[in-house]
Amino acid sequence: MRTQLMLLDRDPAVVALACRPVELVWRQDGRVVAHAPQLMARLQDGSGLLLDCAGCSGSSARLEERAWVVAAAAEAVGWSYRLAAPPDPVLVANVRWLAGYRHPRYAAGQWMPALVEVFSSPRPAVEAVRELGDPIAVWPAVFHALWSGVLRVRLDEPLHERAVVSVVWQEAGAA
């Protein structure tokens, strides 16, 4: 659940998060069934996403049985529902690393214009960091910009100093 929470927190479409915000109660086969989805995300467009997290070994039969009811209830109010499988371990490792730099104290601040300029063309991170100055000061700003979505890197490959980084808006404008 912590990993899914980090992934949602990094998603620019997500504006708010809550844990177990609602409990659904219904009758099934003469018995009362209750389920509280693990997470809810409020999205920029005003809609919501309810999310349950499958365990490391996958979702249980009980959770899968309840998922269709939660999905129908979410749809009835204009939300969506997802039963999230465990994410790729490489993605998890990369997002955990970048999450360590999500605090505003790492924000690019003085580095932002230089970061945007130096990564205007995709290039290995270490080359740009060396060009900008003291790596001790620059790397945290790069990692924060990667976390916050100003810069982009492939997260499905191991993050390392030669990973190719670019400015997000440049790529979107070129497409």
| Percent of the chain whose pLDDT exceeds 70 | 95
Sequence-distant (≥ 6) Cβ neighbours of residue 71 within 8 angstroms: 80, 81
DSSP state of 110: G
Average pLDDT over all residues of the chain? 90
Amino acid 171: pLDDT: 42
C-alpha span between 5 and 95 (Å, rounded):
11
Per-residue pLDDT band at 173 (split at 50, 70, 90): very low
The sheet carrying 48-53 orders its strands as 14-19, 39-43, 48-53, 80-84
Asked if residue 59 has pLDDT above 80, the reply is no
Are 134 and 111 a contacting pair, CB within 8 Å? no
Prediction pTM value: 0.81
pLDDT tens by residue, 63-121: 888 999 999 999 999 999 999 988 999 999 999 999 999 998 888 678 888 999 999 99
Cross-strand bridge partners of residue 28: 31
C-alpha span between 168 and 153 (Å, rounded):
9
Cβ-based neighbour number of residue 140 at 10 Å: 18
Are 104 and 145 a contacting pair, CB within 8 Å? no
Per-residue pLDDT band at 174 (split at 50, 70, 90): very low
